[in-house]
Structure 1
Amino acid sequence: MDLEAVRTFVVAAASGKFQDAADDLRISQQAVSKRIAALERHLDTLLFTRTARGAQLTLDGETFLPHAQALLDAERRALASVRPGSRALRVDVIAGFLAPAGLLRDFHRAHPDVDLDIATLPNGAPAIAAVREGKVDAAFRAVRGTLGAGLIATRVLDEPLQLLTGPAHPLAGAEFLQLADLQGSEIWMPGNLAGTEWSAYYDELAAAFGFSIDTTGPNFGLDVMLDGLAEDPTRATFVGEQTRFRWPESYKLRRIDFRDPTPVYPHSLIRRADNRHPALAALGNHFAGPVATTSVWSGRGDQAGDQGA
């Protein structure tokens, strides 16, 4: 249905004269008549009775009027729903306990007026696809390779990694570690799914420093993994410095820092170059500062800053 014809009908019904409707709409009276006639053909009924005194609604016209007004109200709501800044900014953070969620919380504290809609997509490929397709406005991800035309990636955090062990692990007593200390050992990471950006990162880290990643057993989640670390003195895993974990005091798990170099997980903010949501610009500006990369190992993405194509 032609909404301009519907709009013309509603204005004409309110004014009672086609000429007054033409003046209100800033079109000619002939244009008003043509739109009304087209709408009547579409509905297969007469909406007005034309008289010397003006235009009077027929019974069908009176019946149609509230529906016509509802159509125009729906049009206004539909336009408002996608107007830049009228909806919440939708951002993917992987998971609520990981560093990107903390980054977004910091942004929200600095910009409490920005309405946020949080997404947690399963891994980098669907997250980047969602940004490209406009299903999310931005995503925090590690960038492996090129993104393709129209997307921008800004390095926002090099998050130091730690080794997480139970109290009986051979390395549990260390004040700090070097990656060379892991040579020949296995790091237990059942959540390292093949094809994910974090699996690629940890495989590259393991190859560079002579240890292996053990993905044995199904991934039953963090609680089961923490149970396994506490119970098995041979198991250790990597965690990000800003990863939020809670475990029973009796577990006595240890988080041990690395030095010289410090392995860091490179988080980037990915967004479309042509996305005009005003809050997205504020999000990008919030993370516009340089990212320190002194004495760290972050794999193929060692150069911080903006990447786009």
Structure 2
Amino acid sequence: MDLEAVRTFVAVADTGQFQEAAAELSITQQAVSRRISVWEKDLGVRLFTRTPRGAELTIDGQALLPHARELLRVAERAVASVRAGRRPLRVDVIASRSAQSGLMRGFHRAHPEVELDVLMLFEIETAVAAIRSGAIDVSFRAVAAPGQPLPEDIVSVPVLDEPLQLLVGPAHALAGAKSVTLAQLVGHRIWMPGIVPGTEWGAYYDALVAEFGLSVEATGPNFGSDALLDTIADTPALATFMGEHSRLIWPAGHGLRRIPVTDPTPVYPHSLIWRRDNPHPALAALREYLGAQPSRPEGDTWKPAWAAQGSDRRRTGGARA
């Protein structure tokens, strides 16, 4: 449909005069008459009755007018959705209760003027493809895991090394500990049904197991965080890892304990990734905000060598800081 004809029709309907509509649209009166005439011919109906007082809508014109107005509103929204500085910044945070989601909530509080469109994609390949196609602007990921090299047009900047904590039920052997070392966890069953082979977090825990000889089990279906918390609370032999910044809620009767892990503290490396030529103006504000946040915990920490800056990405061992 010719939007210029729609816009001309609405202008004539609002002003009641072809001449005034022409002045409003900055075109000649003849151009207005021609657009209306062509559209009437295409539609097969008369839209206006010409009278000495001007142009009056016919019954068909009255029926068409609200739809014509909506067409112009839709067109305006379509243009605004891609106009620089007007469309929302599209962000992938992986999960709603994750550290990435917390970072974006903080950014929203600091920059309420920036409209956000928050998504939760699963695999890094999906996120990278969405960034390259323009479907999203940025994602938070652990990069670059073995076998997951980033394309040359994707930029990655570390933003947060998140300490892991041990989560146990009240009857677990370590429930009373104020902190535990990685050496103390050897021989304990750590259950994490959310680990999926081929993901960046799968590569992270593979490296952690290889480095420290831990027993991390990913058996059984993943029924979500609520089922995981129920099982940990009811099973004295099981524990799980969770990020220090993860926001999980459980019933008071569960008696779960979050215990810091030390000597060294394993940290999960979150990076912000985006397409190198992304022009969205809010991206600079997001990068500035993240750069001002504490990114590394104090003390002895560990993360896989492929996640350490300047390390050889082909290695599968770890790096300590």
Supply the distance in 1 between the matched residues of 2:71 and 2:256 (Cα, whole angstroms). 62
Deviation at 1:189? 1.1
Paired AA for residue 258 in structure 2:
R
Question: Contact 1:182 / 1:209 at 8 angstroms: preserved in 2?
Answer: no
Deviation at 1:46? 5.0
In the alignment, which residue of structure 2 is the partner of 1:298? 303
Deviation at 1:202? 0.7
What TM-score does the superposition give when structure 2 sets the normalisation length? 0.75
Paired AA for residue 43 in structure 2:
L
Deviation at 1:244? 2.7
What TM-score does the superposition give when structure 1 sets the normalisation length? 0.77
Paired AA for residue 75 in structure 1:
A
Give the root-mean-square deviation of aligned CA atoms. 3.6
User: Where does 1:13-162 land on structure 2 (aligned, <5 Å)?
Assistant: 14=15, 16-17=17-18, 21-28=21-28, 31-47=31-47, 56=55, 59=58, 62-63=61-62, 64-86=64-86, 88-143=88-143, 144=145, 145-148=148-151, 150-162=153-165
Deviation at 1:132? 3.9
Change over 3 Å in CA distance of 1:67–1:121 after alignment to 2: closer
SS across alignment from 1:162: strand
Supply the distance in 1 between the matched residues of 2:206 and 2:272 (Cα, whole angstroms). 23
Deviation at 1:169? 4.2
Paired AA for residue 121 in structure 1:
L
Q: What's the CA shift string for 1:170-190, capped at 9, x where partnerless?
A: 555555444344446542212
Supply the distance in 2 between the matched residues of 1:70 and 1:119 (Cα, whole angstroms). 28
Question: Contact 1:88 / 1:114 at 8 angstroms: preserved in 2?
Answer: yes
Structure 2: stretches of 5+ with no match in the other structure = 311-321
Structure 1: stretches of 5+ with no match in the other structure = 305-309
Aligned counterpart for 2:191 among listed residues 176, 188, 191 = 188
Farther-moved stretch of structure 1 (214-223 vs 84-93): 84-93
Supply the distance in 1 between the matched residues of 2:260 and 2:16 (Cα, whole angstroms). 76
Change over 3 Å in CA distance of 1:159–1:9 after alignment to 2: same
Paired AA for residue 289 in structure 2:
H
Q: Percent identity?
A: 53
In the alignment, which residue of structure 1 is the partner of 2:2? 2
Tell whether 2:207 aligns with 1:204: yes
Farther-moved stretch of structure 1 (155-164 vs 76-85): 76-85
Question: Contact 1:182 / 1:210 at 8 angstroms: preserved in 2?
Answer: no
Supply the distance in 2 between the matched residues of 1:65 and 1:97 (Cα, whole angstroms). 47
Supply the distance in 2 between the matched residues of 1:254 and 1:134 (Cα, whole angstroms). 42
SS across alignment from 2:151: coil
Farther-moved stretch of structure 1 (132-141 vs 152-161): 132-141
SS across alignment from 2:291: coil
